[in-house]
Amino acid sequence: MTDIKTNSASSRTKQKKQGYWAGVARDGNKMGFWFVLPTVLLLLFIVVFPLLMQLYLSVTWWTPLEGIAWYRAWEVFNWGENYWFQLTDSRVWRALWRTVLIMIIAVPLQFFLGMSLAYLFIDQFPGRKVFYSIMLTPMMVVPAVVGLMFFLLFQGTGPVNAHLGLPSTFSWLTDVNRAMISVIIADVWQWTPLMFLILLAGMLGVPSDQLLAARLLGGSNWQNFFKIILPRMKAVIIIALVLRAVECFKIFDLIFIMTKGGPGVQTETISLFLYKQTFGEFEWAYVAAIGLTILFVLSVIAAKGLAYMAKKSG
């Protein structure tokens, strides 16, 4: 009785906790402890200590330039002025807005394109396998290389201008608006395949007999899609969107290679801003403060999201 109550492990271990198996489970736990240890140590190493250090540094003026060791950063303690300062720093807010802008344009676009492509690939057709492989290539290319590819494409003397019949003085990456468009195009090019891959897997997971039945009953493609496929893909769609949104918020490589955040700060996302503060201004304490704030906000969002999902599904 008590066994079942106290043991919240998987049902498999529940059954085992009696007589002979109890001793066995103890052995297992002992080995399991050693198995878990490396991961736990790595986590502690990269989470607990750095987080404390970040908190410590974020309430000082510390910078690596002055030659003060980080543990003596209290000498320049500033009562958390960094946190106050970031709220009034328009560059932070603009960078944040640009990041969100890229996210709300690129992610839905990727979703729409990925969904359409997945719908094309739902049935067998000659050459499907080859086309499928080709479609997946972009997301496997190193993001920095994708940045280079689009950097080359969008040069004034590059093929895009030549195809569109524009003069070589027509610039993409150094123009205020078009730089953003170029970056979004590159991101969509690289990550639509991910959406396609996930959504197709979800679509193929829709019971084919239901789909067949709907087709036999004379449902139009349109009806089948919205009435049969879409409702059954809800979980998959959420996974795909969340994954992409999280990754898109981190966007760095592409933009850094393509425009370095320029022209000026026109394509500066939050990651690029932090990078420039880190290596341009060397205001590490300030970066630590902003980083912690981001960490906190994202954690709250993630916790709320998880709780919401748990409530919905349970």
Partner 1 sequence: MKVSPGALALKYFFVLLACAVVIYPLLWMVTMAFKPHPEWTTVAGLTWFPQNPTLQNFEFIFFGEAEGLVVSLDRTIVGPLIASLVTSICGTLLAVVAGTLSSYAVVRFGLAKTLPLSVLQLRLFPPLAVMIPVMVMWAFIGAIDTWWGLSLIYGIVTLPFAFWLMKTFFEEVPVEIEDAARVAGCSYWRVFYRITLPIVKPGLATCALFVFILNWSDYLLALLLTQKDWVTLPVYMATLTSAMGGQMYGMKAALGVIAAIPPVVFGLMIQKHLVRGLTFGALKQ
DSSP at 63:
-
In whole angstroms, how far apart are CA 292 and each of 133, 183, 215?
Answer: 40, 27, 53
Q: Which of 28, 219, 262, 263 binds partner 1 (CB under 8 A)?
A: 28
Q: State the binding string over 73-112 for partner 1 (x if CB under 8 A, else -).
A: ----------------------------------------
Check residue 209 for interaction with partner 1 (CB under 8 A): no
Is residue 299 a contact residue for partner 1 (CB under 8 A)? yes
Q: Which of 259, 102, 83 is nearest to 185 (CA)?
A: 102
Q: How far is the CB of 26 from partner 1 (least distance, A)?
A: 10
Rule CB under 8 A: which of 37-66 touch partner 1?
38-40, 42-43, 45-47, 49-51, 53-54, 57, 64
CA distance 134 to 197: 12
Single out the residue of 22, 68, 287, 83 nearest to residue 14, CA to CA. Answer: 22
Q: What is the SS3 assignment for 304?
A: helix
Choosing from 59, 95, 103, 117, the residue that interacts with partner 1 (CB under 8 A) is 117
Per rule CB under 8 A, count of chain residues that contact partner 1:
105
Among 3, 22, 35, 112, binds partner 1 (CB under 8 A): 35
- Identify whether the C-beta of residue 23 lies closer than 8 Å to the C-beta of residue 253: no
- Interface of this chain with partner 1, residues 210 to 249, rule: CB under 8 A: 212, 215, 236, 239-240, 243, 246, 249
Asked if the peptide bond before residue 167 counts as cis, ω within 30 degrees of 0, the response is: no
Q: How many Å separate Cα 273 from the centre of its chain?
A: 18
Note whether 115 binds partner 1 by CB under 8 A.
no
Q: Which stretch binds partner 1 (CB under 8 A): 32-40, 86-94, 104-112, 169-177?
A: 32-40
> x/- contact string, 168-187, with partner 1 (CB under 8 A)?
x-------------------
Contact pick of 202, 206, 259, 268 for partner 1 (by CB under 8 A): 202
Give the contacts of 19 (CB within 8 A, at least 6 positions apart). none
Q: What is the DSSP string of 110-174?
A: HHHHHHHHHHHTSS--TTHHHHHHHHHHHHHS-HHHHHHHHHHHTSTTSHHHHHHT--TT--STT
Among 4, 101, 144, 176, binds partner 1 (CB under 8 A): 144
Q: Is 70 in the site for partner 1 (CB under 8 A)?
A: yes
| Nearest CB to partner 1, comparing residues 163 and 311 | 163
Give the pair of three-digit tokens for residue 111.
């979703």
Q: Is 22 in the site for partner 1 (CB under 8 A)?
A: no
DSSP-H helix ranges across 165-283: 176-204, 208-216, 221-223, 230-232, 234-249, 253-258, 270-276
Is residue 261 at the binding interface for partner 1, with CB under 8 A as the rule?
no
Stretch binding partner 1 (CB under 8 A), from 35-43, 104-112, 172-180, 222-230: 35-43
Asked if residue 120 binds partner 1 (CB under 8 A), the reply is yes
User: Does residue 24 bind partner 1 (CB under 8 A)?
Assistant: yes
- The angle at the Cα of 314, spanning 225 to 10, to the nearest 5 degrees, equals 110
The reply to whether 32 sits near partner 1 by the rule CB under 8 A is: yes
User: Quick one: which of 102, 256, 261, 267 contacts partner 1 (CB under 8 A)?
Assistant: 256
284 binds partner 1 (CB under 8 A): yes
Task: Name the burial class of residue 264, with classes exposed (0-12), middle (13-18) and buried (19+) by CB atoms within 10 angstroms of its CB.
Answer: exposed
Give the phi and the psi of residue 60 in degrees, each rounded to 5: -130, 180
